[in-house]
Amino acid sequence: MVAAILSLLLTSACGQSMKDTIARTKDASLTVHQRCTAMDDLAFEGKRAVAPLHELTHDPNAEVATCARKAIAGIFDSGAADALVPLLADDDPRVVVSATEALGQIGKRSTVPALVPLLQSPNRQVEIEALHALGTIGDKKVVPAIEEVALRRGATPAEDKAGRKVRIAAVGALGNLGDQRARTTLVRVLGSDPACSRAAGASLAALYQDDVTPLLPLLQERRHVALAFGLVDIGQEGTEDSLVAALHRFGDLELAEYYLNCGNRRLEKAARTWADDHGYSVLTHPGVGGDEWGSASD
């Protein structure tokens, strides 16, 4: 009996607290900062916060609306997933982006069917956030849909930087999903799109992080040399010969500097030799360096 009464009192107190919080989010007499703080507090209520926060995304005060979108993006309660899905149909793409971000961090596979159609959105940021979410959730069934985005964006003009960001997000998602069926698509991007080749190489290396040996033959072609960055990040013992050969045959200053700072003595030596052969001097500065050998495997 005592437990039941205590539970009832706690429920009542929490309910009243939430009502007060919602009231503060709507109180125009408060400063924007105070209202935004109340929205952040409200987001911790999870599912129950979605509707009032969604309403505030249409507030006439643009700063308040922005805070509401940020609060939605910060919801991480798995119980809120079903309440967030309807927001994917909002007319404001900024609201869609926020809801998508929240669903990505919640990570429920049941929301994947609602996220996949966003890959066809005319809004680039919506498309990018959907790719991030799908890559994070980890349902490999979406690999073909993401491959289609990666290949479709191959027709995007080089000056279309937003389009390139979509393609980079697509190849990144394929790497996160870890399905080797995506190899053909990633190799195609690696060899055909200089703006995205490094991202494609990193994702390819991620697909084979347990053993990158099947990827080493790709380094025998100039168009695939960006794969070397990803292989350095994996840091698999025994790949140094192929990496050194790739630098000397096809490498450039960017790759040489990457080798120089990766922490692998063999690759550092190769980078210094490359620098000498190409008329560069190596200057060392304390505290300056890049990603380390094997950093992606940590």
Q: CATH number of the domain that 186 lies in?
A: 1.25.10.10
The Cα 133–Cα 186 span in angstroms is 19
Are residues 149 and 189 both part of a single domain?
Answer: yes
Environment class of residue 255 by beta-carbon count within 10 Å: exposed (0-12), middle (13-18) or buried (19+)? buried
Check residue 24 and give its pLDDT: 96
Are residues 203 and 112 both part of a single domain?
Answer: yes
Measured between alpha carbons, how far is residue 200 from residues 21, 23, 193, 210 in Å? 46, 48, 9, 18
Check residue 12 and give its pLDDT: 39
184, pLDDT greater than 60: yes
13, pLDDT greater than 80: no
**Amino acid in position 48:** R
Check residue 290 and give its pLDDT: 57
- Look at residues 196, 194, 205 and name the one whose alpha carbon lies nearest to residue 230: 205
Q: What is the mean pLDDT of residues 4-28?
A: 68
Q: Which residue has the higher pLDDT, 284 or 113?
A: 113
CB burial of 114-133 (b: ≥16 within 10 Å; e: otherwise) equals bbbebbebeebbbbbbbbbb
What percent of the chain shows pLDDT beyond 90? 84
Q: What is the mean pLDDT of residues 15-43?
A: 93
Q: What is the mean pLDDT of residues 64-85?
A: 98
The confidence band for 6, taking pLDDT boundaries of 50, 70 and 90, is very low
The answer to whether residue 185 sits within a structural domain is yes
Q: How many domains does the chain have?
A: 3
Q: What is the mean pLDDT of residues 66-85?
A: 98
Are residues 98 and 114 both part of a single domain?
Answer: no
Task: Give CA torsion, residues 149, 135, 53, 33, to 10 deg.
Answer: -100
The confidence band for 167, taking pLDDT boundaries of 50, 70 and 90, is very high
Across the chain, mean pLDDT equals 92
The answer to whether residue 12 sits within a structural domain is no
The Cα 104–Cα 121 span in angstroms is 17
Domain interval for residue 267:
238-276
Are residues 86 and 122 both part of a single domain?
Answer: no
The answer to whether residue 215 sits within a structural domain is no
Are residues 113 and 191 both part of a single domain?
Answer: yes
9, pLDDT greater than 50: no
Residue that terminates a domain, selected from 105, 123, 141: 105
The answer to whether residue 170 sits within a structural domain is yes
The answer to whether residue 231 sits within a structural domain is no
60, pLDDT greater than 80: yes
Residue that terminates a domain, selected from 52, 70, 105: 105
Cβ partners under 8 Å of residue 103, min gap 6? 81, 84, 85, 111, 114, 115, 133, 137
Check residue 298 and give its pLDDT: 65
Are residues 115 and 195 both part of a single domain?
Answer: yes
Are residues 25 and 66 both part of a single domain?
Answer: yes
Residue that terminates a domain, selected from 70, 105, 140: 105
Check residue 158 and give its pLDDT: 62
178, pLDDT greater than 80: yes
Check residue 186 and give its pLDDT: 98
3, pLDDT greater than 50: no
